[in-house]
Each structure stands twice: as structure tokens, then as C-alpha cells.
Amino acid sequence: MTMQTNQFAPPRAFNNPPPVGEYLVPVVRGNGQGTVISAQRVGDDNPAFGFLPFPEDRDSENLKSHLDTLKNTIGISTVAIANKAKDVHPQRMPETALQIIATNCRRSFKDTVAALQAMKRHAITGRKEFVDLHIVNPSIASAISARFVAMDQPAILQTIATMGADQLAVLLSMRGLISLPTELWRDVQIRYVIQANLSGERSDGIGIAAKQPSLDEPAAIGIDENVVAEWVEARMKFFDQQESRVDDVAASLKNICAVLAVACDKSPDSMWVALHE
């Protein structure tokens, strides 16, 4: 006689893999331009995504190094979290994930932030020094400023292209008093640096744009205006790109905090504290 026995599912021990849906391990993958990090809370149909860009040529050497290290430590953390999820109770996984991420990523995250701050300071200081105004003779400056005050905006706009270094320097010093389109002030700065180099008030471009002897002009001296103009434009573009890059990476770090916060069931502010404070 065969006895019938009831089959009961054995209780799930904490060292068994958690059922799907109880804790969702964050995922890291590359996309050719950087590292994509995704995390999702249980019951939420929409995962959160973060993006950490790869280092670029315009980055400082420190930022390149720390971005690469941060990418690696985040990858190591997600592997460690996945392994822990096999043994740790799902309800304890968010706190476990937080400990793993803080332990592995805190130093690389702080180093990346510091490198980003240094790059921003360098760009701001470099631009300030590049467009720094020479001292115009006080009597000349007074006469120039008086003429500007008597001119309306259209008249000033029409004469900018013919202004010399002194006039451009005075105009830039009166920025708070004269109303010009915002985008035009950058053009005035560029023209000032060009004219200041050509007139000898600045010497930044002498080694870069010095005229070279040629068949047409064997005794060439001075500065090549076209070369110095190209150099000034390129230098200003470099500062623009650095500042833009800083903004992009800063936004990425903010977004990564938000995504890792999801994996740890914390707020983005709490994640920032865990990684940086």
C-alpha cells in the first residue's frame, strides 16, 4: 500500500538566492561613450539610469585618472552587491549595498569631485588672466569713457570693429555701465586680446604668432594678425569647452548619486553624504 504524503516547500534560507523582485541588483554596462548604471526599486516599473562619461582629451590628467578609477570601483561594487544578494536577506540588501558602495567608491568619488573642482578653477583663472586688461593712461581712459557715455548703443556697435586696444580695454571696464548684447561682450574680449597683442600691450601671442621670414618678406618681424586671431579664438574655445565639460561631469556625478540611492533605498542627499561627506 502506497502512502500519500503532502509535499511542503522547504523554507527559504537566507543563504539561498532571493526570489526575483525582492531586491534588484544594480547593473553596469558600457555604451562606447561611458558607463551606464541602472537601478530599480521593487515595484517600480521605471528603472533609474545614470551615466559616467569616459575621460576625454580636454580633461585634466587628474580628472582622467579619477574618472577611470571611479568607473572601476562602481563596477566592482555592483559585482560585490550581486554576490551578497545570494546570501543576504532581501530586506537587508539596501543597507548592505550602501556599505559596499561607500567602502569601494568613497575615495574615488571624492577624488573625482576634487579633480573636477581643480579643473573648474583652472578654467576660470585661465580665462580671467587671458582677458585681463592692461592699464590705460588715466587721461586717455577718461577721454575714451566720456565718448562712450555720449554714444548710444548702435554707435558703439558700429565702432567696435575699428577700436584699438585702449578703447576696447576701457569699453570692457565699463561693462556695468554700458548695455550691449550679452553674447557681444565675448566678441569684445576676443578682439581686445588680439589688439593688445598686436599693439604690444600684451605679449601672450609673441611666441605663437610671430611672423616668420619668407620669400615674400625675408625681413618679417612682429606678429601675424591672422595667426594671433586664430590663436585667441582657439584659446577662448578651449576655456569654453573646459567649463562645459565641468558642467557635464558634475551633472553626471549628481545623477549617479541618484541612481545609487535607488539601489540603497536612500535619498540622493544621503547618497552624497555616504560618498563625499
Based on the fold, state whether residues 146 and 228 are members of the same structural domain.
yes
Q: What is the pLDDT of residue 6?
A: 39
Based on the fold, state whether residues 224 and 200 are members of the same structural domain.
yes
Based on the fold, state whether residues 170 and 108 are members of the same structural domain.
no
Query: Given its phi and psi angles, is residue 59 left (phi above 0), alpha (psi -120 to 50 degrees) or beta?
Result: beta
In tens, the pLDDT along 113-147 reads 999 999 999 999 999 999 999 999 999 999 999 99
| Terminal-to-terminal C-alpha distance of the chain | 71
Based on the fold, state whether residues 98 and 172 are members of the same structural domain.
no
Q: How many structural domains are present in the chain?
A: 2
Based on the fold, state whether residues 230 and 144 are members of the same structural domain.
yes
Give the amino acid at 168.
L
In tens, the pLDDT along 183-221 reads 899 999 999 999 998 888 888 777 777 788 888 889 988
The three grid cell numbers given for residue 270, joined into one nine-digit string? 544621503
In a domain, 180, yes or no: yes
In a domain, 58, yes or no: yes
User: What residues contact residue 102 under an 8 Å CB cut-off, 6+ apart?
Assistant: 274, 275
Range of the domain at 31: 27-121+247-272
Q: What is the pLDDT of residue 211?
A: 82
**Is residue 36 pLDDT above 50, yes or no?**
yes
Q: What is the pLDDT of residue 244?
A: 95
**Is residue 20 pLDDT above 70, yes or no?**
no
Closest CA to 263 of 101, 110, 59: 101
Cross-strand partners of 51: 36
In a domain, 20, yes or no: no
In a domain, 76, yes or no: yes
Based on the fold, state whether residues 37 and 172 are members of the same structural domain.
no
Q: What is the pLDDT of residue 261?
A: 97
d(Cα 116, Cα 66) in Å, to the nearest integer? 10
**Is residue 263 pLDDT above 80, yes or no?**
yes
Mean pLDDT across the stretch 251-257?
Answer: 97
